[in-house]
Amino acid sequence: MIKFDSGNPRGIIWIASYPRSGNTWMRAFINSLFKVMRDPGSADFDINKFDEAAESEGAPALYPRFLGKPVFRATPAEIAAARPWVQAALVESARRLIYLKTHNARAMDHGAPLINTDVTAGSIYIVRNPLDVAISYAHLSNAPIDFTIDLMARSGWGIETTAQKIRTVTGSWSQNVGTWTDRANPTTLVVRYEDMLDKPERTFKRIARHLRTDPTKDQLRQAIELSSFDRLRAREAEAGFFEKPDTSVDMFFREGRAGQWQERLSAEQVARIVKAHKPAMRRFGYLPAK
């Protein structure tokens, strides 16, 4: 379970994953859960405004206070040094528990932690079959699937700072998964994307308990329904989704199903992904049957 002082609850709860692994779906569920528990009659929420599960800590506006200059003038080392201070300042400003999205590995960057454990109350890490991630990520980036497969195997990979976004250090798929899951931590709950699909009540109940909430069966079911992929896709069709990058020509909530790789990937592409990530894939039950 997440850990905090019940008399003065504050800290970051990280919603972490490699890109295209269910991070937004998880944040939608958390948002729905708290809305339903406050008001059982809650209707659909605005997907462009998560109340409980907030945006990433990578907003450029947060950093100049600690950099003394605009983010696009800062070096990667300066961004790395400022990051823990930004995370601590977010907690101090909120004075409550806050939920932050991250695609960063739980690692060091230029000698500074990407995740400030001193202000962390806990985390949920979502892992998804990299065979399906490759397809989804390629569509989101409007990039060739072979390029995306190579990118997912690139050690230390990340995106540099721009005027719109702070540097992220995602690493390869295996690195990202490993830094969050290799060492058992009672405040980190590891959830498989596929279990969110196939065993929703059992899986989302584990998530609710990890967050130290106790919804009724009806509240849990309502939160699951409000954050279902079909509903999220419908809301995007109506109002758009501001987190969708300009590179994407598809909807952000595209298909959301498991096993797409069996229809879309060649045997050679599957072999390359398995070769790059075999240990982690074996651990999470993702190796294709022979």
Model pLDDT, residue 47: 55
Query: Residue 50 falls within a domain, yes or no?
Result: yes
Tokens standing for 290? 């022979």
pLDDT tens for residues 86-98? 999 999 988 889 9
Query: Residue 288 falls within a domain, yes or no?
Result: no
Please give the C-alpha separations between residue 207 and each of 24, 73, 217, in angstroms, as whole numbers. Answer: 15, 40, 14
Number of domains in the chain: 1
Query: Residue 83 falls within a domain, yes or no?
Result: yes
Query: Contact, 86 vs 94, CB < 8 A?
Result: no
DSSP string, 143-188: --HHHHHHHHT-TT-EE---SS---EE---HHHHHHHHHSS--TTE
Query: Residue 264 falls within a domain, yes or no?
Result: yes
Query: Residue 18 falls within a domain, yes or no?
Result: yes
Q: List the one residue out of 98, 90, 102, 88 whose CA is nearest residue 50.
A: 98
**Average pLDDT of span 186-196:** 97
CATH number, position 140: 3.40.50.300
Query: Residue 101 falls within a domain, yes or no?
Result: yes
pLDDT tens for residues 214-267? 999 999 999 998 887 777 776 666 655 545 445 655 655 566 778 899 999 999
Give me the domain span that covers residue 89: 11-283
Model pLDDT, residue 59: 82
Q: What's the predicted TM-score (pTM) here?
A: 0.91
**Angle, vertex CA 29, rays to CA 114 and CA 203, nearest 5:** 90
pLDDT of residue 58 exceeding 90, the answer is no
Query: Residue 4 falls within a domain, yes or no?
Result: no
Model pLDDT, residue 77: 97
Query: Residue 221 falls within a domain, yes or no?
Result: yes
The structure tokens 């990979």 sit at 157
